[in-house]
């Protein structure tokens, strides 16, 4: 089931149960944003406001406060003013949301990836994309965007560059980074490789086929990768492992790295194409052809597209087809991006819980039928 098909509004209370209040308290304490005096919107409630903004894109922000019953009542029981909400968000900042995402993603993504391993390896995917943000002078200066063409100025909207790592079979984000549009995906992703867990396989596009990053990944523990080769990648065949399956050596020639790099190269024909010239190659750190058959790796590589599905869910569905978030100031954009990432994961975690409950119900019904 896609996020777009999920009745978010009907399950807000159930989704809230997945977010331990202790995690929020810890995030606020470590970011120094705990409310020290009584306010109508205490810091812990503002955290839920930002997450709620990601869940309820079609509602004005005042209605999100009301829908989630976030504001403490005053003597006159008045509606919280937009200016009060803005000031509360400014006090919160984005550090607490960043910490909360890291805490929750580490638990949720690891749990879901562990539950659906391939040959003992947790499956993750890494890819990048962009998101439009509201067109304001502050956002345009902070984030930049595409050029509209020679003599035509800048693009219609400022944009942020995003890179995410996702547990492929559950779509739960395990890591998330963003920066101004001018920062490349490879540069932005460099920080993600340190978050890959032990006994994992990361599937990525050939854009991330960077020697120093992937050598560091595979030599820092039981961590592996699978990628499509670039068209200009050259290597020397060292051993034939099977049909179109080779152990190869790739010259590195970079300071601080080995002179050559031993990889496995698998040639195959793209699905839907008969032309022999449309052969492509996969490269991987999984060198054992018996344990990791080439045919299975070819099929597995196409699970990388699950990350594209996840991006589509965030950009087209969770953001209500606008591909734009609300905040007109960079600090608000950063805060809101973390809130959207947490909101997306909350939906995914609740969907997992519902699916698990349904499976248990089917097993219990089948057991009752057999016992009659």
Q: Confidence band (pLDDT; 50, 70, 90) for 319?
A: low
**What share of the chain has pLDDT > 70, as a percent?**
86
Task: Report the pLDDT value the prediction gives residue 277, as an integer from 0 to 100.
Answer: 44
Average pLDDT, the chain: 86
Average pLDDT over residues 171-199: 94
Evaluate whether 188 touches 128 at the Cβ level (below 8 Å).
yes
Q: Interhelix angle for 43-55 vs 95-114, to 10°?
A: 60
Is residue 76 pLDDT above 70, yes or no?
A: no
Task: Report the pLDDT value the prediction gives residue 279, as an integer from 0 to 100.
Answer: 66
Pairs from 137-145 (Cβ < 8 Å, separation ≥ 24): 138/328, 138/329, 138/330, 139/328, 139/329, 139/330, 139/333, 142/180, 142/330, 142/333, 143/180, 143/181, 143/330, 143/333, 144/180, 144/181, 144/182, 145/181
3-state secondary structure of 367: helix
Other CB atoms within 10 Å distance of the CB of residue 130 = 19
pLDDT tens sequence across 162-178: 999 999 999 999 999 99
Is residue 3 pLDDT above 90, yes or no?
A: no
Task: Report the pLDDT value the prediction gives residue 74, as an integer from 0 to 100.
Answer: 56
Q: Which of 2-6, 84-88, 192-196, 277-281 is least confident?
A: 2-6
Task: Report the pLDDT value the prediction gives residue 276, as an integer from 0 to 100.
Answer: 46
Average pLDDT over residues 347-359: 84
Report how far Cα 34 is from the mean position of its chain's Cα atoms.
27
DSSP, residue by residue, 238-257: EEEEETTEEEEEEE---TTS
Average pLDDT over residues 269-275: 58
pLDDT tens sequence across 290-315: 999 999 999 999 888 877 777 777 76
Whole-angstrom Cα Rg for the chain: 23
Is residue 216 pLDDT above 90, yes or no?
A: yes
Is residue 278 pLDDT above 90, yes or no?
A: no
Q: pTM of the predicted model, to two decimals?
A: 0.88
């Amino acid at each position: 089931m896609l996020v777009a098909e999920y009745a978010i509004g009907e399950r807000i209370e159930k989704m809230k149960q997945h977010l331990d209040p202790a995690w929020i308290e810890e995030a606020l304490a470590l970011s120094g944003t705990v409310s020290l005096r009584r306010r109508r919107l205490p810091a812990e409630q503002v955290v839920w406001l930002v997450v709620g903004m990601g869940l309820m894109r079609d509602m004005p922000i005042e209605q999100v406060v009301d829908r989630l019953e976030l504001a403490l009542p005053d003597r006159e029981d008045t509606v919280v003013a937009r200016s009060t909400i803005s000031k509360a968000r400014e006090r919160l900042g984005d550090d607490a949301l960043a910490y909360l995402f890291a805490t929750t993603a580490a638990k949720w993504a690891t749990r879901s990836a562990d539950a659906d391993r391939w040959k003992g390896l947790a499956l993750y995917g890494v890819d990048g994309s962009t998101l439009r943000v509201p067109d304001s002078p502050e956002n345009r200066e902070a984030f930049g965007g595409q050029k509209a063409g020679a003599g035509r100025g800048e693009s219609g909207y400022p944009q942020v560059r995003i890179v995410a790592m996702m547990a492929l079979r559950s779509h739960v984000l395990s890591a998330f980074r963003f920066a101004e549009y001018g920062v490349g995906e490879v540069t932005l992703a460099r920080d993600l490789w340190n978050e890959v867990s032990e006994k994992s396989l990361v599937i990525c596009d050939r854009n991330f086929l960077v020697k120093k990053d992937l050598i560091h990944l595979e030599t820092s523990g039981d961590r592996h990768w699978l990628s499509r080769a670039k068209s200009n990648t050259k290597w020397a065949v060292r051993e034939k492992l099977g049909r179109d399956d080779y152990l190869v050596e790739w010259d590195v020639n970079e300071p601080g790295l080995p002179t050559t790099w031993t990889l496995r190269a698998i040639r195959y024909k793209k699905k839907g194409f008969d032309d022999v010239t449309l052969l492509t190659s996969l490269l991987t750190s999984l060198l054992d052809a018996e344990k990791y058959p080439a045919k299975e790796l070819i099929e597995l590589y196409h699970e990388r597209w699950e990350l594209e599905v996840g991006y589509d869910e965030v950009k087209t569905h969770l953001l209500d087809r606008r591909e734009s978030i609300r905040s007109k100031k960079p600090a608000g954009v950063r805060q809101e991006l973390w809130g959207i990432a947490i909101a997306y994961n909350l939906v995914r975690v609740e969907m997992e819980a519902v699916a698990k409950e349904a499976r248990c119900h089917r097993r219990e019904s089948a057991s009752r039928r057999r016992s009659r």
